[in-house]
Amino acid sequence: MTNTANRPAALHSYFAYRDAPAALRWLERAFGFETTLEFSDDNGGIMHSELRRGDAAIMVFSDDGDYDRPALRGETVGHGTYLSVGTAGEVDEVYATALDAGATSVWAPANTEWGNYRCRILDLEGFEWTFGTLRPGEISGE
C-alpha cells in the first residue's frame, strides 16, 4: 500500500465506538487501516484517533454518549462509508479478511450495472462499510 501519511484527505468520516481501542485494532486487521494518531483518555478509551487506508482518512473515538446504532431496514442501514479500492481482487480480499475478523456480510462482492465491483459489510459495532472499484465520476458501464 502506498504511504499517504503526508497527503491530506479530502473527506474525513468520524465514528464513536463503544470499545474504541478494540475498534482501532479491528479496523487495522479487518479493513487494512493504519492508525496514524492516537490519544487515550483518562478512562482507558480513545479521546481522538486518526486512521488511513490509501487516500481515505477516518477518525475514531470512544462513545461516551451511548449513541444509538442504525437499525437494519431490509438488508442495509441506509447509509455508511464507501471506500474506493484499486481492483476487484482488493474488494474480494477485504471482504474475506473482514468476515474472518467477525464482520457481517450485507452484500457479497458483485458487479453493478454502473460498473462497480463492490461488497458491503457491517463491522463489529454495526457501522456499514462498502468497498468497491468505482471512483466517482468514472462510471465504466462494464
Residues 37-72 have pLDDT tens digits of 999 999 999 999 999 998 889 999 999 877 777 777
CATH number (3.10.180.10, 3.40.1790.10, 3.40.630.10, 3.30.1370.100) of 81-132 reads 3.10.180.10
C-alpha cell at 95: 471482504
The band of 142, judged by pLDDT with boundaries at 50, 70 and 90, is very low
What sign does the CA torsion over 125, 131, 135, 137 have? negative
Instruction: Name the residue ranges covered by the structural domains of the chain.
Output: 12-62, 81-132
Higher pLDDT, 4 or 23: 23
pTM equals: 0.84
Question: Given this structure, which CATH class describes domain 12-62?
Answer: alpha beta
The band of 3, judged by pLDDT with boundaries at 50, 70 and 90, is low
C-alpha cell at 56: 481515505
* Average pLDDT value over all residues in the chain: 88
The 3-state secondary structure of the chain, one letter per residue: CCCCCCCCCCCEEEEEECCHHHHHHHHHHHHCCEEEEEEECCCCCEEEEEEEECCEEEEEEECCCCCCCCCCECCECCCCEEEECCCHHHHHHHHHHHHHCCCEEEEEEEECCCCCEEEEEECCCCCEEEEECCCCCCCCCC
